[in-house]
Structure formats: C-alpha cells, structure tokens
Structure 1
C-alpha cells in the first residue's frame, strides 16, 4: 500500500498532538487533525472570552506543525509579545481572531491560515460551540474550566471521577465526522487524558464515529502521569478510561515508551507529583490489544522537559500499518 496517501485522523490537543503531527506529515499528506476547543487559559482564554470565539491556541500549534512555508512565517505565528498591553499574547492567535472577525467564521479563518502556511492536510476544531469543561473530583468538588481543573488537580492531588462538557453533547464541526468515517488510521494522543483527548470523545457523534470506523485505531500512551489527574495510573488504566467513552475493544494498538528517562529529569517531574507511566505485560488487556514498545524519549535540555521523539514515534506508527 502507498502510505503517502494513507488517510490519517489525529485526535487530541495540547503539545502532544502538534508534536506528533510534525513527525507523521513526512509519511502521508492526507492528515486531518481534530482538535479540542475547551482551553480557557492564557491568551486563548482571553480571546475566547472577549471575542466569543473558539480558543485558537491548540489549533494554531497544529497549523504550524503541519506548515510547509518559510521558517519566518512559522516564527511569526508563534511569536509572543514581551511587553506592553499585548504582553503574553500570541500573534498567531490574534491573526486567527482577526480573520474570524473579518469572515464571520472561525472555520474560514483556519482555512485561510492553512493556505498561508501551505499546510499538509487540514486542521478542524472538534466543535464550533462555546463549550466549557467541568470535572468532579473524588472529594465531590466540581471545577469549571480546563485551566482550573489542571490547577486543582496539581494543588490538591485529587482524582477525577467525572468529566463533562457544557453544553452537553455539542454538535461536531463540519467535516469532522466525514473525516473519521473515511479514515484508514485514527490516532488518539499523546496528550493529557482528561483535558486533551477525552473532551473530543464527550461529543457522542465523534465517539460513535470512532467506534464504528473500520480504521486502525492507535493510542499513543503518555510517558508521564498528570499530577492529581492520573496519579497512580498505568498505561492499562488510560486505555480502560478511554474505552469508557468509545467502547471496550475499540482500540487496536497501543504504542508505549520503553526507554528510561535520565534521573535528573525524572526527579523534576516527581517533585511536581508526576511519575513515569508503567505497563504490565501480563495484564489481560494485552490479549485483546497489540502493544508496541519503543524508545521514544526526547529531552529538551534547555527547558528541562520530556517529549515524544516525533521522528521515532512516526516511524513506529507507520511501520505497524
């Protein structure tokens, strides 16, 4: 099979999705990134509140990840103002906001930006509705807002017992369901379980389309837990939680990291309450799901954080097809 025309749908949000997109665009040109829109923090949150628009940050990151243009254009879309009234605001977010205002349509703004950046594939917000994420924790506290959920988890180290969108079950954006139905490969993750991946699956039509799709469904497991949100979770726990929303037996393959993280970097994560995600090769779930173990660690020595190695990850994704 010619992998360069393979129809791939990648579902998620945050840094994990954009990191993966940079790798997989070297293998196929038919990529659709479906991006969560529950972010309410930082510059995206301000634009969302003041302009009543979809938060642009994660979508902008995916557009830049898939871009095939001059480096200066990518740098411009990622530029963050350092002083004045715009301090902390991102130019790319403002660019998308201006285009949305001019056209009266955020989807058109994304399309125009896609053309400007000559991206590989396309980027779609999962919904255009003004959705808010709510989480209920094991202490019965209900927290509104993605940023607030993350902050509460870190501060109180409480587990999430329920996660939902308001309004309930929003309508998917145009072309989202069609892309999933036509996909030959569906990628879930990497990314925060409850704030990057699950929000997409809280839309019934999206979850149903994934469940009934004939595509190969691959979950890329995180390397580290999220403090509070997934403290104590294993890879198997992540799979079980995802399949609460898309159905048991939906995931075909899971890619897990088997490379050790240097102690000095691991220690920093542990100080924040995170731990490496482990897996049990003898767990019965692996009788139903294929597990691919791969050395996937990439360390940013300057900023001292851990990410997936996008080139290796893409290689293992497409070698399995």
Structure 2
C-alpha cells in the first residue's frame, strides 16, 4: 500500500462518516462523494426555506474527518457540530450567545473569526426572521460559504482546512433534487427522510424529482469526475442501502464515470439491521444494484451474519467485523478494505 493510494468513498449519512476518525488516525488522505438528497431535520428546513442542495451530509462527513489531535481543531469542530434547541425562542437566545463567543486559544481565534464571517454571510441571506430551531451551526456556516463563494464544495474546502481534515469532499450533484418512490399500490412517497422507513421490497420504483415534481436526472458534479479519474479503490458504503448509497447512482454520469475509472469498486451494504434491506438476500441486493447502477461492482463485502449465498459475477467476501450500535467497527472495516488493494 503506497503513500499515494487514492481512496474514494461514495454515499451519505453516518455509515461512512464513522470511518472518518480511522482514516485520520492512519494518516490516509481520502476523497468523498456525498449524497445530496437529505430532506430531514436541519437540512430539510434549510432546503425548504433557501433552496439548493442540503448541507447536512456534507457537514457530517467533514466533521468526522477533523484532526482532533489538535485542541484548537477539536474545539472548532465541536463548535460547528452544535445544534440549537428545537424551540425558536431558546434557539435565538443561544445562537446570539454563541455568536458572541471568542476563543481564548490563539490558534483557534483566527479560525473562529472565519467561521463568524460565514455565519454573518448566512444571516444576511436568510434574513432576521429565518427559523433557527434545531439548526446545526456547521450547516449554517456551509450555507454562508455557499453565498460567499458560489458553492457548498468551496465552503467545505475552506472548513476542511480550518479543521485539518486530510480529505477533499464534493456532493454527487450541485443540482437540487428530491428522492421519491412509487409504491406497488400506486402511492407516491417523497422525501429521503420518509423513505428510510421503507424496505426496498416495499417499493415498486424510485427516482429523483425536481422542485416542480418532475422526474429528473441531475448532472454529476465536476469534482466527482476528478476524484474518480485517478482512483485506486472506490468504496460505496457502508450506509443505508437505498437512501444513502443507491440514490447517488440516480445522478446522470456517476455509474459511467466509476466504470471508466479502472479502480477496484467495492460495495459495503452494511449491517442486516438496516430496514431498507429488510427481506432481501445478497443476490437480490446485487440484482437491484445492477438494475440501477449497472455492473460496476468488483467486490461485495458482507458481514458474516449475512446468508452465505454466492453472488455470480462478483467476488463476495464475508468478514467477521464487530458491530457497535449497529455499525461496523471502523478500524476493522478499514483494515479489511485496505487489504483488497
């Protein structure tokens, strides 16, 4: 494993983010293509009021990659991860207090001044009446950076430098789109946060919608093509199979770019506890994957709890990976992934 190994991770949510600290501890530089369809919580509120792709998954991944061995960096990452109360009056009071804070550590003072500038940019765009209840400060800072620099990715690059994250990040698409699914009985469920309650076995079809409710295939982010052009290994997952992983491949051009990269492509669906895979076998999962994303997978990595069912056409590896709160133990999974290179 050489020092120039190029690791690219695709997906959203907390599954891949749990690998972040392990990547930092190992001194591995990594590239991340993050899902862009989150519609719940703070991200959903920001999307409804201000439009554009959601910042939540990008912020989650970014902060997971912070080098917290530096006290000032750990303090700044903790600040960006703070979430305001759900009650609007309390949220405004605490936000005003937080905005008045000044870091005593000399190293953190300059970084904090930059973050304060991002928050001021957000405030100017959002206006004084914008609801702050439940908002995450990192999301607000990213949106402030979007208004200053023209994209969430530029804002993420700035914050990555401040928190010493050894990584580059991009959304799979900069275009706004909503994840939706058609049910067998004909109903339509719209919104990533609502679809997490459903198993793929309960869904007839799924797709992306634009802001007018029309089916859309948004364009792949240009940074994604650059990340993948020199990839050695592309890791899809771990994460919620449908809303976090497969949804990324509804973006036009991602499957083709992954296939053309020449990299080893590894799919890590995650644990059997994921409700989105309820009732599906490894063969069914791979069949669904190929229907949506094509035959791009070289290796399928499954925990040993999965049925020992051979999947034709790919190398299937069962690993005894310990779980903590339903997620793979990060160090063990990373070691397994690096052994495939």
Change (3 A) 1:166 1:50: same
CA distance in 1, matches of 2:274, 2:209: 23
Preserved contact between residue 8 and residue 185 of structure 1 (Cα < 8 Å):
yes
CA distance in 2, matches of 1:137, 1:71: 44
Q: Structure 2 residue aligned with 1:294, among 319, 326, 330?
A: 319
TM superposition shift of 1:74: 2.1
Preserved contact between residue 220 and residue 252 of structure 2 (Cα < 8 Å):
no
Q: Structure 2 residue aligned with 1:177, among 225, 233, 236?
A: 225
CA deviations on 1:145-193 (whole Å, 9 max, x unpaired) are 1112224x27xx9611211112422112221112112111000111112
Preserved contact between residue 297 and residue 306 of structure 1 (Cα < 8 Å):
no
TM superposition shift of 1:48: 1.4
TM-score, length basis structure 2: 0.79
Range moving further from structure 2, 99-108 or 43-52 = 99-108
Equivalent residues, number: 289
Range moving further from structure 2, 100-109 or 11-20 = 100-109
Tell me which residue corresponds to 2:294: 247
CA distance in 2, matches of 1:135, 1:125: 22
Determine whether 1:54 maps to 2:53.
yes
1:1-321 aligned within 5 A:
1-2=1-2, 4-27=3-26, 29-69=28-68, 70-82=73-85, 84-85=90-91, 86-151=132-197, 153=198, 159-167=202-210, 168-227=216-275, 229-248=276-295, 250-258=296-304, 278-281=306-309, 283=310, 285-286=311-312, 288-299=313-324, 305-321=325-341
TM superposition shift of 1:24: 3.5
CA distance in 1, matches of 2:134, 2:36: 20
TM superposition shift of 1:246: 2.7
Larger radius of gyration between Structure 1 and Structure 2: 2
Preserved contact between residue 236 and residue 279 of structure 1 (Cα < 8 Å):
no
Match of 1:9, SS state, is strand
Change (3 A) 1:158 1:315: closer
CA distance in 1, matches of 2:140, 2:178: 21
CA distance in 2, matches of 1:23, 1:254: 21
Change (3 A) 1:40 1:251: same
CA distance in 1, matches of 2:34, 2:166: 16
Match of 2:196, SS state, is helix
CA distance in 2, matches of 1:160, 1:23: 35
Preserved contact between residue 23 and residue 65 of structure 2 (Cα < 8 Å):
no
Match of 1:204, SS state, is coil
Preserved contact between residue 25 and residue 31 of structure 1 (Cα < 8 Å):
no
Match of 1:171, SS state, is coil
Structure 2 unaligned spans of 5+: 92-131, 211-215
- The two structures, once aligned, show a CA RMSD in angstroms of 2.0
CA distance in 2, matches of 1:169, 1:158: 23
Match of 2:52, SS state, is coil
CA distance in 2, matches of 1:119, 1:44: 22
Preserved contact between residue 225 and residue 233 of structure 1 (Cα < 8 Å):
no
CA distance in 1, matches of 2:206, 2:8: 24
CA distance in 2, matches of 1:52, 1:306: 33
CA distance in 2, matches of 1:54, 1:95: 14
